[in-house]
Amino acid sequence: MDNQYGILVDQKNNYLLGRPVEVKTEGKEDAYTKALDKIFTDEYWETMQATGENAINCGVAWQFVYVGNDGELKVKMLRGDRVLPFWADEEHKVLDAALYIFPITVIKAEYYTHDGIRYFVFDGDRLIPDSEKEDSAYLTVDGKPMNWADIPLVPFKRNRHEQPLICKVKCLQDALNQLTSWFADTTSEDIRNTILVLYNYDGENLGEFRRNLMTYGAVKIRRDDGQNGGVEALHVEVNPENFQLIQNLLKRAIIENGRGFDAKDERFTSGNANQMNIQAAYSDIDLDANQMGIQFKASLRKLMGFVDAYLSAKGITPTSKVEFVFNRD
């Protein structure tokens, strides 16, 4: 496998989220700002980077907001391929409910609604209530069950179509893997590049011909021209230049269709790496980063709704507007 797709995923995720996102507030250092610093820690930005990678792979990833046993606000990532959302609108901006499916020893599911969480277990092809858990609210405040105003599940989308990156390059990546595998097989010592042809030593039917060719790397042929027996060699030549040409074409197509950048681009290696050339080489990945950045900022604003509600419940009033700045690398 020549995993160019994996390189694209790492490029895009680290280009946008390789550095912690800056949290800017309008006010001075006050209780609200200090409280935000305790929520948006290095641990959260690690979760954010994992969210970005999963959003690229799945089209959309999710962050679940909850209050831990220590009373502090927590955020954890839910993989996009394990969440089944039920949207209230065609634009996928308002969440009506969601089903979170995860395997343990059995396959369990948590159903998130505005009224709280319901717990289920898969039994064949149907869901049955989980006998080990009772339906519950999202929060417990002063011993009383309470729910958020919205479902505490925030989608982080790669783009507005929620399309995984693999959809753009899968056929090209498969072709590259197949080509690489074929070339390795062809040049392997287990595959015979030289076939011995023995004249006037025996005739063969087609089945024997194929079997002897694969087993011994030799075929026996009878001549009717009266010549004596002999041995000749047929050489099967593999031209590595043809392989390298197609390989480079496929890699270039993967980079262009996946909107990545080629670190080995001649604009970098020829000694002409000026500002204009660098901007041109990064233009495609910039397009994707702009699109993903807009989606993630909208998600972070939605996340802030839960953060502000939590802080208000603790007596900390939001004092300023919060802005998130992506420090692209």
pLDDT digits over 204-244, tens only?
A: 565 776 677 677 766 666 666 666 666 666 666 667 888 88
Mean predicted lDDT score pLDDT of the chain: 87
The answer for residues whose C-beta is within 8 angstroms of residue 148's C-beta and 6 or more apart is 65, 138, 139, 306, 309
User: CA 18 to CA 77: how far, in whole Å?
Assistant: 17
Q: Does 140 have pLDDT greater than 90?
A: no
Query: Residue 197: pLDDT above 60?
Result: yes
Sign, CA torsion 79/84/86/91:
positive
pLDDT mean over 62-69: 94
Adjacency order of strands within the sheet including 83-87:
83-87, 95-103, 107-113, 116-123, 126-129
What are the pLDDT digits (tens) for 72-126? 999 999 999 999 999 999 999 999 999 999 988 899 999 999 999 999 999 888 9
Query: How many of the other CB atoms lie within 10 Å of CB of 248?
Result: 10
Partners of 97 in the beta sheet? 86
The strand pair at 194-199 and 218-221 is best described as parallel
Chain-centre distance for alpha carbon 134: 34
pLDDT band at 178 (very low <50, low <70, confident <90, very high): very high
pLDDT at residue 310 is higher than 80: yes
pTM assigned to the model: 0.81
The two structure tokens encoding residue 35: 């409280």
Structure tokens at 269: 């290696």
Tell me how far the alpha carbon of residue 213 is from its chain's centroid.
Answer: 44
Give the mean pLDDT of 294-300. 96
State the pLDDT confidence band at 269, using cuts at 50, 70 and 90: confident
